[in-house]
Chain A
Amino acid sequence: MHKTKLIFKSLIIIILTPFFLCGCYDAVPIEELSLIVGIGDDLDTECDYPYSATLETLIFKGNNKVSHTALTGKGYTLYTTQNDRQTKNSKEWLLADEVVYLISESRARSGIKDFMDAILRDSNRNENAYIAISKQSTKKFFTNEPLYSTTNSEEIASLLEFSKEANFFYTKPTLMNMLLSYNQEGRKMTLLYIDLKEGRPQVTGLALFKGATMIEKVSLSEARLINLLRNNNSTGYISINTSNKENYTDFTGKNRVKVKVSKQNNIFVYDIYVTLKGVLTVNSICEEDNSFCNKEKIQSAFEEKLEKELYKEIQKMQQVYKTDWLDLGYYAVAKYGREKNIDSDNNFCKSKINVHVNVKVTSLGRKLDK
């Protein structure tokens, strides 16, 4: 009896102490909170302050009414913009539930080293938030009227989340993936590029980075080829066209990339094995050309077409961009040792790259070809 009393007493003490020590003294009701859902970083060249940041927040009005607003602050650094922003806000900020980060193109082109530092240092930031580069200033994105969600941020986040469903984009364009590709030796950042067209946000390409500075923006058709060589297990749609627009072949599949590195006379030789596995969805070409009823023939036609396109893209990368955006240095470094400057762009431009495309059609579909 004595023992149970003691246990009971000590339990009460253990449960009550946290309440007194870390109770809700400074807590604020939800109506007085600015719950940040989206963060945008801009570069303002016109005014005195170089940086400006826009935060989209939720507003709770009671009776389950929720709306959104966006506030912009200007300052000399990333966080001092808060000084300006707070003067316009009558509520308390709450970070850590943000779902999307946007960086305007002008800001990205001038370098985002400070931003990369902040997301690693500030543990309050959400590493699973999505990130993209925007063509217009981020304020335009956040002050837009959302169509199906309460906030623009949710819409943009879901837009980025499901970009993986086509164009061979990588599965999670989040801050975490950005941090990994920025820090790991031999890799370079590529982020999704979004544009405001007719009042709706839309993915229109890929922003390519060198270090923390954006160098190039490529169109969607070019991004598809880069993605095909870079990303593993991503989905995409490709086709073979003929002069007759009714007759073509459609292929839906997932890719798998394997890279083998070797060295010949101080020149790196990369063998990229791209395997595409998927199904045929349209094959009207076979009514004109009978040989296309054969599975092997279709596969080799796709392989030929893709290899041609990929070689062209690689040539452009080696001669025009002169930067390794295929993450080939990552494989070279893993084989020939780290911190020896093996992954330099100079080595990439000199290197020989062979692409071996292997298309596997698992099913021709329900229709029987003659």
Chain B
Amino acid sequence: MDNKLTNRQYIALILNSFIGVGIITLASDLCKYAKQSAWISAIIGGILPLFVLLSSAYISKKLDYCEFKYIAERVYGKYLSKIIPFIFIIDSMIYIPIILVYYTQILKNSISQFLPELLIILLLVFSITCTSLKNIKIIGRLSEISIYLTLSVIIILLFFTTKGNIKNLHPFISSYKDIIKAIPKSILAYQGGEVCFFLSNYISNKKNLKKDALIITFTVIFFYAYIVFIVIYFLGWELTSKTNSVLLFIFETQRLHIISDLKAIFLIFWSNAIFLTTSIFSYPMVYSLSYIFKLDYKKACLLPVPILFLLSYISLKNDNFFKKVMEPTSKIISFILIIWIAITVIIVFFKTRGEKNA
């Protein structure tokens, strides 16, 4: 029990792994293509986390909730199982710098113009390493606190319900083609559920895994679709697609007494979510590194630090590198991951059916 995650901690942890930069950037990314029906694209994009979480629940149930290395060995054999973790290592090594770059850019544009970029990145990588040095139980407990603060954005956005116009959202569906075209843009927001493959042996209550998957997915979908909906309702899709950090922009316009505006408060809550998201992302990477190179877990934490730092610093300084190398690679690696999950589900299905018959 000491080293296990409770049900609520598990839900909070996976939710936190999804909710990151997407809160701020998703609306403008989708509006460029899907226009006023961007919120429908946000709902359809939720198929990805649903698929990842449900297949994870299925695989862990069939393989008796064992650790990830046993899953890999049982499904892929002794030699192939050494290659599979590389997918997760590259996945985390690409996505953590992308999140850090977005986060640093937003910080530079909003509240910390005076801090040099190098220092921000250094602090962020330092905090990620510090958090991942602790075990997953600590991250679970932190996420349980942080997720309530992050989800409070739903309440903050209720301020804008009286200020918009429903005409901004009409006609709800004008072109199916545009809606489908926008769905791949939501991949950054819905990325991050893969960590659930590594957690199945940590969960204390294993019966509810499928139910948890549904709860998590619908919360995430509701959260994102709600944000996109309110933003379009308030601003209209034209203005939404013209600004890069649209949520901060609309928070700036809401003036309150005592505190000048909501932006600073939101950034404090949201920074917590970003620190946790990146820490959760680093868990599969550290685990895989310690598995492949047969290292101690704490030593494996320090191994990726220079790579993470260099990748994020280069992509922050060189916009071409970020747009032409990092972003396409991230899409390819997500695609490979989805295929890997699908193949694993099929193999597990046939293997376990054979066992029952025999």
* Residues of A participating in the B interface, judged by any CB pair closer than 8 Å: 21-22, 26, 120, 123, 127-128, 176, 179-180, 183-185, 330-331, 334-339
Contact = CB atoms under 8 A, between A and B. Distances in A.
B91 to A, nearest CB: 31
Contacts of A128: 253, 255
Contacts of B243: 120
Interface in B111-140: 112, 114-115, 119
Interface in B230-271: 235-236, 238-239, 242-243, 249, 252-253, 255
Interface residues of B, number: 23
Given A123-B109, A335-B170, A338-B36, A183 B255 contact: no
Contacts of B119: 21
B185 interface: no
Contacts of A22: 112, 114-115
Contacts of A176: 253
In order of increasing CB-CB distance, the 8 nearest A-B pairs are: A334-B170, A184-B236, A183-B239, A334-B167, A183-B238, A127-B253, A337-B174, A176-B253
A337 B171 contact: yes
A263 B243 CA distance: 35
Contact of B110 (A123, A179, A335): A123
Given A22-B115, A123-B109, A338-B35, A184 B171 contact: no
A183 B242 contact: yes
Question: By CB atoms of chain A within 10 A, which of B115, B170, B174 has the most?
Answer: B170
Interface string B84-128: 000000000000000000000000011010110001000000000
19 contacts: A22-B112, A22-B115, A120-B243, A127-B252, A127-B253, A128-B253, A179-B239, A180-B236, A183-B238, A183-B239, A183-B242, A184-B236, A185-B238, A330-B167, A334-B170, A337-B174, A338-B35, A338-B36, A339-B35
A334 B119 CA distance: 48
A334 B253 CA distance: 25
A180 B235 contact: yes
A180 B110 contact: no
B329 interface: no
B209 to A, nearest CB: 34
A127 B236 CA distance: 17
Interface string B160-188: 00000001101100100000000000000
A334 to B, nearest CB: 4
B32 to A, nearest CB: 13
Question: By CB atoms of chain B within 10 A, which of A120, A176, A331, A337 has the most?
Answer: A176
Nearest to B120: A21
Contact of B242 (A21, A120, A331): A120
